[in-house]
Structure formats: C-alpha cells, structure tokens
Structure 1
Amino acid sequence: MTEIQQTPAPGPGPTLATVTLLPTARPADEAADTAVLDSARQVLTDLTGPAPLAPVEKVDLDTFDDAPLMPAWMRSPEGWAAYAGVFYRSRRRGFRRWVRRQPTDRGHVRQFGRGTRRVHEWVVGFEGVRVQGAAHTAHVLTREARAAARSARFTPRILGSKKELAMKTADKLQKEAEAAVALHKKARKDRNRARNLRAGVVYGPPLAAIGGGFVATGWLGAAGGMLATFTGGAFAGRKPYEEEADWSADWRSLGDGDRMTAPMLDQSFRAAKVIGADETLKVVQMPMLDARGAWSTVIDLPPGIPAKKAMRAVDELAAAFGVEEAQVSVSKRGRSGRIELYVSRDLPFTDKAKPGPLLALEAAANFWGPISIGPDVRGLPISISVVERSGLVGGEPGAGKSASGNTILLAAALDPRVLLVLADGKGGGDLEPFEHLCECFEGDADPEAFYKLLLAEVADMKRRYALLKKLGKRKVTEELANTYPELRQRLIWVDELMFYTTDEEYGKKITKLLRNLVSRGRAAGIITFCATQKPGSDVVDTSLRDLLSIRWALRCTTPEASDTILGKGAAAAGYSAKTVQAEMRGAGYLWAEGQNPVMVRADYYTDDQVTELLERATEWRRAAGTLPTGPLSLADQLRAQAENDAALLAAVVDTFANYSAKAGEELDWLPGSVLLAALKDDGLDVTAEKLGALIVRTDEEKKAKRAWEGSRVSGYLRSRVTATITARYGLTA
C-alpha cells in the first residue's frame, strides 16, 4: 500500500483530512464515486471561511518546582555514576593545578611569606632613614668635637689668641655634637613608638587568635588560629611583587644586612672601578659567614688586573658595600690576581679586649719562640719571632704604644733568661714597674745617661763576639745561650726615641751607637726595639730606621706618617694606618711575618694584670738566680774587698748614713769620738791613731772644731772619707 500525502492549503484552519487512494480498491459503482466527490466538495466549501481561533491558555514562566534542572536519564544509576566521575576528574585536575602552583610566586607558602614581609615592612616604616641620618650626623659631629678638644688641649697656653680660639671652637663643636646626639635619641624614640603601635596592630590579632583558640579548645583551637593567621598572611601577599616596585632590588648593601652574593661582588667592584662594566669576578670560595658575623670570600680578578689594584681601592669598596673602610680587609691569596676579601659586621677592635694569653702561663715563657701579639680582624691570634730581629713601633699620641709595647716587654720579662735594658725618653713612669728586673735602666729622660748606657752595650756586644770567636760559632743560639750565661738574649727597649735623637749634644752620637747595635748586635743575641710618635728622617735617621725589620704602625693622622713607619709605598698599596679609627685603640698594621702588613690589635693588660705578671717574673727569676741585684752601695762594695781596712771604711760610711737618717738631713761631718764609738760597737778593733792613719786629714781639718752636744770637738769630713776610698780602692758611691 502506498500512502500519498496531500499538501495542505495555506492559511489558518484545521488540518485537511488525508485522502488515501487505494489502487487495488476500485469503486463498485458510480454512486459510490459520487458520494466521495460530494464529500470532498463539502470540505472545500468549509475551508473558504476563516477558522475560529482556539483560546490560548496563560502560563506563568516564573513558577516552577524545586526539582533539579537535569534530564530524566541523570536520575538513573548510570547517570549518577557519570556525574560522580566528572566531579572526581575535575577535583583531581584542580589538586594537580594547586600542587604545580605551590613552587611558583602564586603558591600559598610564597603568598604567606610575601604577606609577612609586607606587613613587617609596614611595621618597620620609614622612620629608620631619619634615625640613620641623625646617627651619622651625631657621629661626624662627635668626632669633630673630639678632634677640636684634643687640639685645644695640646695648644700651648703661651699662644694666647690661638689657645682661646681653639677653646671656643671646641666648646661650639661640643654643643653641636650634644644637640645632634639629643636629636638622634629623639628620632630613635619616635621611631620605636611608631613601630610598637604598628606592631600591635599587625601582630596583636594573630597572637590573640592563637592564644584565644588554645584557651578555648586547646591545641585544636590553636591550630585553627594558626590556620586563620596563615590565611590572612596569604591574602596580604596574594599579589606578587612587580619588578619596578621591588626597591630592595635596586642596590644590595652589606651595611643594610643583605647577604654577600656573586652579583653583589660584581656590582661593588664595578662601582669601585676595580673591574670594567663588562667584566665579572670569578668566585673561588663562595661567600660565607663566620662565627663573628663577618663575610669572607676568595675571588679571582679578571685577567690583567693585579691584586694590588683592589687593595688600593679599599675605601671605594667600603663605600660600595655600605660599611666603614676599617671593616674591609683585602689581601693577596696565593697569586697576583687572586684576593681574599673579608668584611666584618661591625667596626673591628671596638669591643672589650679579652685577657692576654700571658695570664694563663703556669711556667716561664720562651722568648726564643713566637711571641703572641694579639688578634687580627678575623679574631685569629698573631705571633711573631724576634730572634735576630729589631723593631720600630710608631703612632700618634694616644694610639696605644705603651699597651702595645707591653706585649713584648712582658713576654721578655717572663723569660728568666732574657736581660732587660730599658730607657724611658718620656720620663713618665710607664717603664718604671720593670726597673727591678732590668740590668740597666734609664728613666729620667737624660740623653747623657742614655749615651753612657749605649756605650756599655756596645762594649758588651764586643765581648759577646769575642766569646763567639773563641767558641768557633757565628751567632748565638738558644742552646749556646743556655750553656754560656754571658750570651743570654738582651732586649734593649727605647721609649720615645725622638727625645734622645733630637738632643743637640748627644743626638747624633746616640743615633750612631744605636745603628751600630741594630746592624751588628743581631747575631750576638741583642734585640733592639724603638718606640716613637712619628719616626721621620728628622727624628730617626733613615740609615737607622731602614735597619729595623719589624714595623708596627698604630693610628696615624696622615698616610705619609704611616709610610714613615711601614715604608714608602705602603699606603699606596692599601696599608695605611690612617684608616685606623680612634675607637680602635691599640690596633695598627704589623709588618713582621710574610710579605704584607696585617691589621692587629695588641693584647691589652691592665695595670693590675701587669703588676701580677711582673710578680710572677720576679719569682721565676729569683728561682732561676737571674734576678738583678741592683747597684751595690759603697759600703757593700768595700766589704766585697775582703780587707780589714776596707771593712773599717765600710763601717765609717754606715755611721755617716745612720746619723744622717737620725738627723733627717745629709751630714757632711762627724766627731772622731762618735766614729770610734760606733766602730767599737760593731766589734772592730780600732784606735784614734789607726783611724787617723787610715783617713789622712790636713792640718786645717785636724784643728777645725765644730759644736757637738754642747762642746766643740774635731772630727772627719764625709768628703775626706769618700776621697780616701776612691784613692785607695777606686770605688765611688
């Protein structure tokens, strides 16, 4: 059967009925055909008029039930399984994205760290800039005021106007320094107040949340508070830093607490003009922090740049690192282009000095071995050997020459085998505690006495060489000195050499004798050290100064003054004692071992500690039998003659001394009866005739009478007694 669909007529109205013709079914007669046609006509007639419109039902589209908007198939078990799979896969992808995000700047830990840093920077604020500026101003003005006060103090009063002007300048600078210090204190107080307020705002809520949670529900509440704190910090740091907003990336400075890195080194060395703009450094030893908080590294300069260029640019490097010049130490390491850089956290040698190593000695020291001088900038102990050496210590007044000299003098005193010969050109008593240990001592700043002392030392040097020739030896060794006491080490220490060498009468003679001792006395066991303020050619002749092999330059006012101690060109090579700050007392460049000077601070011993060490030295020397007995009195010298007449004259000298002590003044005459009575009391068999024959007087002296206890009697002059002793025995008081 075939179905033929008729196309409905356009227009509104009901759908036309479908007429189906069955080819196999034919009408039986004409009547049937007529009925069909009539029926069709009737239908067509009905379609000619408009069809009535059906009523439209009004529907509210906003009204619907609570059923989920999902197709019906989703309500089946298969639909629910598909939905759960989609949810699981989306959650797994989200977790993977979260894990991959954590190492980036968008990670929550990074966000928390960034937020913590931001809020901390807000707490710190910008008040520190004002405090730092006020501190710098106060430091500069204080240093200027100290220098002006020193200048005013040392200006002679005979220069009336200059003295008055210096005093006024010192007072003015002192007031300005005090005002600057007060301003710095106020700025620091305001900064602390603002920081404390902001810290309470930032750190108060997290602490309250954690503490309140712990009090309320224990560790679970504390964990919740910590989670809330972490969330807040991550929210504060949700946005990464932009490159132009990261101010800390503009310049990295060690003075601001930043880490030393390879880029920082390149940047600083370029700023100091040590390397070019396109050159880089090669880091041999990575920058490391030591226990003192200082940075150290070993680097290779670009090819063709010597180490001395970096050593000369210490001031520029310090400015690039944001620290003081004294905090930067540059030294050559192994070869010309390799340097070792050391940058201390604070200004070195400003902390309290630790007790010197000599205090820990339980036995005698060994002056033949290394002598501890003090620590370097790294805190490592520095020792030197003075065997067959000589030394020069120099620096401006107050630089610490006396304290520095104590490190060598005490080491020599604690070795009972060392002979001490000291001369104090200052006459101030710095060397007086050592006097009882000295073979020779000149403490009155007398050039004539010092000249005679040097003559005796030159004679002793000749005797030493005569003994060495006799023994067939070239120089004194420790074993030889222990065998022959005449060859023991001899330390000659001259303080304030300038006073002796500038004397009009004896200056040149003293210089000549010192040059003789320094140049020839080394092999004979004679060690010479000289200390002065500025050993220029007008103070110390260059022929003498150049022979002193150990140089110790304490704080100096100019690089030229430093070069007079360390040698010409030392300041240009980066070793200038001018860089030593006033706070670094006792510190200076020591050139004794190695090829380059080393910054060292001398071990410091207080007056009580010096007294304690000298008491030990006295005991050890007395036990070893090397404690000097000092000059013998005239009476003791007479008794040493082991003669009856000498013993008689010694008793006469003692009688004069006893009666002078009773009278409170020096007596130049005593009656003969008094002398005879005193001699008999001492057990000496003597008569007036024997005494008169021993001490020969002139006729005038015999006839001369003086008052004595109510009567006038004759006697003996003290000058006649001493003249008799000198004429007979060649002895003097």
Structure 2
Amino acid sequence: MTEHSTEETTAPLASVTRLPVPATAPEAPAPDAKVLDSARAVLADRLDTVDLKKAEKVDLDTVDLDAPLIPAWMKTPEGWAAWSGVFYRARRRGFRRWVRRQKTTHGHVPAFGRGTRRAHDWVVGFEGVRVESAAHTAHLATREARAAARTARYTPRLLGSKKELAVKASEKATKAAEEAVLLHKKAKKDRNRVRNLRGAAVYGPACAAIGGGYAGAGWLGATAGAITTFGAGAFAGRKPYTDDTDWTTDWRSLGDGDRMSAPMLDQSFRAARVIGNDENLRVVQMPMLDATGAWNTVLDLPPGVPAKKAMRAADELASAFGVEEAQVTITKRGRSGRIELHVTKELPFSEKGKTGGPLLALEAAANFWGPIAIGPDVRGLAVSISVVERSGLVGGEPGAGKSASGNVILLAAALDPRVILVLADGKGGGDLEPFEPLCECFEGEADPEAFYELLKEQVADMKARYALLKKLGKRKVTEELANAYPLLRQKLIWVDELMFYTTDEEYGKKITKLLRNLVSRGRAAGIITFCATQKPGSDVVDTSLRDLLSIRWALRCTTPEASDTILGKGAAASGYNAKTIQSEMRGAGLLWSEGSNPRLVRADYYTDEQVEELLRRATEWRRKAGTLPSAPASLADQLRAKGGDDAVLLAALADIFAHRQEDARAKARAAGASEEKAAEAVVDWLPGSVLIEDLKEAGHTVTAERLGALVVRTDADKTKRAWEGSRVAGYPLARVMATITDRFGLTA
C-alpha cells in the first residue's frame, strides 16, 4: 500500500467527501485564488473566509474509485458562491440569447402568432366543406322544386294525365328539397356544435385563466393569466412552418423544390400533352426519394396511351417538372402502358466521378466469359453486360469519352489470360499502345493496308476454328472447349476509329467485307468484334455491317440522326436520344445490349496510372498462364536465326551500336539532362579499332581486313573523325544497316 505523507510540505488539500467509504485523503492544492476572489466579491456581504487548511485526511488506496468524487469545498459558502457566480453568468448569457431570438421566426411573438393560427384552424376544422356542399345541394333542390311547382301550376287540367304527372313531379321535387334543406340545417348544427366544443377546449382555458386571475387578484392576476395564455400559444407554435408543412407556399415544380405527388404528376403529364385534360394517371408505386435524392415512381398510363408516347415527350415533361431533359428518365415497366419515371435532383454524371472501378479490386484473373462491369447508371446501380457471342459498336462525337469507355472492356479482356487481343488504332495516337505487349496482333500506325492484312489473318483463324469445331462435333465455342483447346480461346478484335479504315479508297470496301465476315460468322467461333468511331453513318460503316453489331453504346451526339445511326433507326423518336446527353456528362452514354432497353450509363474511369497498374497485373497473370505473346525478335536475333558467320558477326555489330547508344543516354541522364535531351544522344559512328576490340570481348575472332571485307564502305564513309583527341577512321551505323539489308533483306 502506498503511504502518503502527513507533513504539510506543500499547499494544503481541501477536504474530500467520498461515498460510501469514509476515509482520509491526501492534501491537495487550494482552489484557484481567482475563483475564490470572484466568489467572495459576489457574496461579500454575507460570507466569511473559510480556513481550508483544516482538511480531513483520506487514504486514497482504501477508497472506492467507482464512487463520485465531490470536493468538500464545493459545500462551503465559498463553493456555493462560485457556483452561484457561474449560474448568474449563464443566466445572463441565456437572457441575451433570448432577446436576440425574439427578432427571428423562433421568437415568442411569432411563435404565439403561429400557435394562434394553428389553434384557430383546428377550431374551424373541415366541417364547413360539408355545410357548403349541403347548401349547394339544397339550393339546387329548391330551384328544381320551384320549377316543378310552376310547371304543375300552369299545366291545364284539360291535359288530364299530364297535369297529374306534373303535380306528382312537383310533390316529389318539393319533398327532395325539404330533405336537402333539413340536411343543410343538420350539417350547420353539427358544425356549430363541433366548433363550439373545440372553441371551448381552446379558448375556455385562456378566458378562465384571465378572468379567474382578474377575479382573484385584479389586474395583476389578469396579467398573469394573459402571460400564461401567451406562453401556451407560443408553445403551440414553437415549430416554424417548413416547406413540407406550409400549405400556403405556392411551389411551381420539382425544380423549385416541390415534392412529387399524384396531382402534380397528372398536371405535368397533361401539360406535356401525354394524357388528356379529363384523364388521370394510376400510381402503381408512390413517388419516393432514393438515397441520392432522386424521385422514383411507377405509373400506369390511361388505356390506349402507349409508353413510347411518354418517352417521346421527355423534353416536355422535363419542362413541366422544371428540370433538364437529361434529369428525366422514362423506361417501360413490364407492359406497354406502364412506365417507370426517374427524376434526379441534379444533372446526372455532371459531378467529377470517382476514378477506378471494380477491376482494381480483383485479386485473381478476370473471367471474360461472365458479366463485365461497365459502370453506374443514373440511379447509381452497377451495370454489367455479357459479350459472349456478341459484337459491339461504340460511337459519339469527339471528346465524348470513347477512349475511357473502351478501356472498361479492353481492361476486362486483358485481365483474363485466356483472351487473345487483336487491336487496331485508326487514330494512330497511342491510346491503345499500352495494350500492345499483350496483343497477338497490333496495328498502331493507322495503315489501311496493314489492317487489311491483319483481318485476312483473322479470317483464316476463324476458318481453322470452325474446322476444329466440326472435327469435335460442336456447333459453337463454349468456355469448357476454350479451356481444353488453345486454338478456341476467346479473341477480342477491337478497332478504334473505324472511319479511317473503311473510308480508304483502295482498301475501304475490302476491309468492310472482311469485318462483315468476322462479325456475322466469328461469334460462334469465339471471336468478338468491337468497333469505335465518331459517327457510324452509312458512309462510314456499311449498314450490312452496322446492323450485325448487337451491342450499341451511344455517347454524346450532336443530332438525333447521329444518335439513330448508333442505336438504330427510330430510337430517338422512341425516347432514346443521345443528343440529350449534356457536355458535362463526359463518359456517359445510352447502352443498349440485347434483351433490354437503352440505359444511360457512365463508364468507370481509370486513370493512366491505374491502367498501367492493371496492365502490369495482366502481364504477370499471362506470364504465369503461359499466354503472354512473345515480343518481336530484335534485328540481332533475326540475324542469328539466319545462321552463318557473316550473319552472326553483323548481329554482334548491331548489338555493339545498341549498347553504345544506351551508354551514351545513361551518361546524359547522369549529367542531369532531361529525357528529351538524353534521347538526342545518338551513336551513329564508331572507330574500327573500337569495333574490333568490342567484338573480341564478345568472343568473336575478327581482324580489320575481315571487318572491312564484310562491311564495304565508300570513300565518304572512310573519312576520319575526331575520337578521344585524335582523328581516326571508322564505320557508320547506316553502312552496317545497309549491309544487313542488302545481304539478308532485314531492316531495324
């Protein structure tokens, strides 16, 4: 047990009260002198100084630490003085806040006004509506009774039966009028009785408080009763009116903050001329707000009104709702006359979307045979598509986000080691260049002739696939067959900027014919073709090819006709118009895959760094799976493959120039030069002695005569150049390359 000294070597401790265990406590420093001085100043007229040195000793080791600790000095007069000072200042600040609040809607006077109005509205109630209705009915009935009585009076008795019928009609009308008048009187009586009861419940206590106070204590009591009444009224009106509860506020539309309701929907659809003035919508699912603040509801149109009429009127409905057309999404729901209406709070996809997507979370290879995550729709729901036995077309104006949208599909294919990639970049801009190391075939120079040759190779591969399928007795490639036979692995052919290839005068029609062959026949053979272009019109893509592409993704377009060239003729008239996509909605487009209506989807955006990271994973997974395409053989390797002493010696010369080039650039970087400056360091000439020395270090036995006989130089090539302080003769790199081309037909 810890022993506490009882000697007063430091400032004395105040007495401490511990419940429930009484014990002695060690001495503690006295309370703050400023606090005590303030307390003494407040209660100077009735407080005496207390000697705090007389403190009860407490052994803290024997005290129940779960019990509340209450300093004893708080129970002294000076402690009470300190507390009263704090209480006084808190009340004074509270009074100041109360005074400031009186000028706002939370003040007592505005609150009393609201409470009075609410109480009066409750007293009045809704019974007046019944009285007015009964009065209207009574007026009509009495008018008909007077008309029937007049007809009966002036009908001659000579008419016989007509006179009797008129009298009977008059009596019947009179009886109906009397009943209507009685009902009116009863309604008035019931209204007055209910109002009197409510009035007594509301105004009785107030009158009793004021009157009783005056009778008991005169005007002072009446004032107290009035203050009590005022307080009760202020309490009843303590909550100000809000947009949701204020019936007097005249909101105009959803864009102004109004709530979506059935009457508003009827009014908006009438204003858009979707339904007639005497028709109403049937609400299947009441309007509700989702997590993003968007309104969503399911409606049944009147009989005979198809859903496409509402979808075509999206612009008019947006105007009636007070929002942009892109904020309104109308889709069919189960049957022709039922629609689902979705109105977003703000323009969808206008905010800067988060980068990345589900592919970054993959810890193992992707499965291109399964669904591919594309991105979220306007409701934030993830959208996926399947490309098995499909083909696709991605189109939109420049800057709409085709490259970022295409990356979603390309990355999914790259992350599946089983998929063979064949890419062609009609722009030649390098968008597809990061995928080149993973491609079996790659055309990045925007060369129509090279692309034509590439397509011929793919057609030959398609024929070989069908030959194997026929041998196996199968009709089409499945995932099991693709896993069992490497020849039947899935193949993705991606063509960027198709317009450049198909509009070529010499090869355009040939390319279109080969593509049509691949798209129409290659799907069952496991070949998937996707084309991307800015405007896939009939002058760019032949309709016989375009109509075969089953997946359509229309990004922002400038005209409805341009949208129809992607989604198909009549899509814009049916309410699917990519022209409505705003310029702020980059990467968003109408995605139409087989079996569904077009949906507005925004592709997941992967930054350049994220693309590089995913491609590194894809490279590693393909290397482990053994499906990583081999890199093109270098010029030196091609020479060695030719065989022969001359080819091997020329290969060594090519390697020496390449190594010297890399050394020169490394020295430039070490000296602080930028990458651009380092790239300018070119080694295009080396002395003969240096070449012979490097060749000997590489294990080749060569003399100057042998080297001169192999690489024949002109007189200009033999001109001496400066080298390490002297002038020597050497061999230009261009002459070595010319020798390789002349002897073996190879180029760098």
Q: Pick the TM interval, shorter chain.
A: 0.5 to 0.7
Q: Tell me what 2:317 maps to.
A: 317
Q: CA RMSD in A?
A: 3.8
* CA distance in 1: counterparts of 2:509 and 2:541, whole angstroms: 10
Q: Give the deviation of 1:518 after TM superposition.
A: 1.5
* CA distance in 2: counterparts of 1:713 and 1:423, whole angstroms: 42
CA 1:537–1:229: 2 relative to 1, 3 Å: farther
> Could you list the per-position Cα deviations for residues 581-621 of structure 1 after superposition, in whole angstroms to 9, with x for gaps in the alignment?
11111111100142311111111122222222222222222
Q: Give the deviation of 1:395 after TM superposition.
A: 0.9
The answer to whether the aligner puts 1:683 opposite 2:699 as a matched pair is: yes
Please tell me the residue identity of whatever aligns with 1:231.
Answer: G
* CA distance in 2: counterparts of 1:309 and 1:684, whole angstroms: 83
Matches within 5 A, 1:64-103: none
Q: Tell me what 1:492 maps to.
A: 493
* CA distance in 2: counterparts of 1:705 and 1:371, whole angstroms: 59
Please tell me the residue identity of whatever aligns with 1:267.
Answer: Q
Please tell me the residue identity of whatever aligns with 1:564.
Answer: T
The answer to whether the aligner puts 1:617 opposite 2:641 as a matched pair is: no
Q: Tell me what 2:453 maps to.
A: 452
Contact 2:687–2:728 (CA under 8 A) maintained in structure 1? no
Please tell me the residue identity of whatever aligns with 2:718.
Answer: R
Equivalent position SS for 1:382: strand
Q: Which range moved further: 512-521 or 637-646? A: 637-646
Please tell me the residue identity of whatever aligns with 1:348.
Answer: P
The answer to whether the aligner puts 1:231 opposite 2:243 as a matched pair is: no
Q: Tell me what 2:537 maps to.
A: 536
* CA distance in 1: counterparts of 2:443 and 2:696, whole angstroms: 40
Q: Tell me what 1:464 maps to.
A: 465
Equivalent position SS for 1:706: coil
Q: Give the deviation of 1:562 after TM superposition.
A: 0.4
* CA distance in 2: counterparts of 1:645 and 1:235, whole angstroms: 104
Equivalent position SS for 1:637: helix
Q: Tell me what 2:638 maps to.
A: 637
Q: Tell me what 1:580 maps to.
A: 581
Q: Tell me what 1:724 maps to.
A: 743
Q: Give the deviation of 1:706 after TM superposition.
A: 3.2
Question: Residue 706 of structure 1 is aligned with which of 718, 733, 736?
Answer: 718
Please tell me the residue identity of whatever aligns with 1:453.
Answer: L
Q: Give the deviation of 1:723 after TM superposition.
A: 3.5
Q: Give the deviation of 1:427 after TM superposition.
A: 2.4
Q: Decide which structure has the larger Cα Rg and report it.
A: 1
* CA distance in 2: counterparts of 1:508 and 1:723, whole angstroms: 36
Q: Tell me what 1:370 maps to.
A: 371
TM-score, with length taken from structure 2:
0.60
Q: Give the deviation of 1:541 after TM superposition.
A: 1.5
Q: Which range moved further: 252-261 or 338-347? A: 252-261
* CA distance in 2: counterparts of 1:711 and 1:581, whole angstroms: 68
CA 1:523–1:318: 2 relative to 1, 3 Å: same
Matches within 5 A, 1:107-126: 108=119
Q: Tell me what 1:221 maps to.
A: none
* CA distance in 1: counterparts of 2:293 and 2:233, whole angstroms: 35
Please tell me the residue identity of whatever aligns with 1:290.
Answer: D
* CA distance in 1: counterparts of 2:717 and 2:350, whole angstroms: 72
* CA distance in 2: counterparts of 1:666 and 1:236, whole angstroms: 87
* CA distance in 1: counterparts of 2:729 and 2:237, whole angstroms: 117
Structure 1 unaligned blocks of 5 or more: 1-103, 115-223, 239-244
* CA distance in 2: counterparts of 1:264 and 1:675, whole angstroms: 88
- How many residues of Structure 1 are paired with residues of Structure 2 in the alignment? 504
TM-score, with length taken from structure 1:
0.62
* CA distance in 1: counterparts of 2:617 and 2:458, whole angstroms: 27
Q: Give the deviation of 1:293 after TM superposition.
A: 1.6
> Could you list the per-position Cα deviations for residues 50-73 of structure 1 after superposition, in whole angstroms to 9, with x for gaps in the alignment?
xxxxxxxxxxxxxxxxxxxxxxxx
CA 1:646–1:475: 2 relative to 1, 3 Å: farther
Please tell me the residue identity of whatever aligns with 2:553.
Answer: W
Q: Tell me what 1:288 maps to.
A: 288
* CA distance in 2: counterparts of 1:260 and 1:268, whole angstroms: 10
Q: Tell me what 1:349 maps to.
A: 349
* CA distance in 1: counterparts of 2:511 and 2:238, whole angstroms: 79
> Could you list the per-position Cα deviations for residues 261-305 of structure 1 after superposition, in whole angstroms to 9, with x for gaps in the alignment?
222222222221111222222222222222222222222112111
Q: Give the deviation of 1:478 after TM superposition.
A: 1.5
The answer to whether the aligner puts 1:481 opposite 2:477 as a matched pair is: no
> Could you list the per-position Cα deviations for residues 153-189 of structure 1 after superposition, in whole angstroms to 9, with x for gaps in the alignment?
xxxxxxxxxxxxxxxxxxxxxxxxxxxxxxxxxxxxx
CA 1:619–1:717: 2 relative to 1, 3 Å: closer
Q: Give the deviation of 1:656 after TM superposition.
A: 5.8
* CA distance in 1: counterparts of 2:545 and 2:228, whole angstroms: 76
Structure 2 unaligned blocks of 5 or more: 1-114, 126-225, 241-245, 665-680, 722-726
Q: Give the deviation of 1:444 after TM superposition.
A: 2.5
CA 1:455–1:665: 2 relative to 1, 3 Å: farther
The answer to whether the aligner puts 1:505 opposite 2:506 as a matched pair is: yes
CA 1:347–1:646: 2 relative to 1, 3 Å: same
Q: Give the deviation of 1:705 after TM superposition.
A: 8.8
Q: Which range moved further: 587-596 or 636-645? A: 636-645
CA 1:496–1:684: 2 relative to 1, 3 Å: same
CA 1:433–1:337: 2 relative to 1, 3 Å: same
Q: Tell me what 2:109 maps to.
A: none
Q: Tell me what 2:107 maps to.
A: none
> Could you list the per-position Cα deviations for residues 553-606 of structure 1 after superposition, in whole angstroms to 9, with x for gaps in the alignment?
011111111001000000000000011111111111100142311111111122
Q: Tell me what 2:299 maps to.
A: 299
Percent identical: 73
Q: Tell me what 2:265 maps to.
A: 265
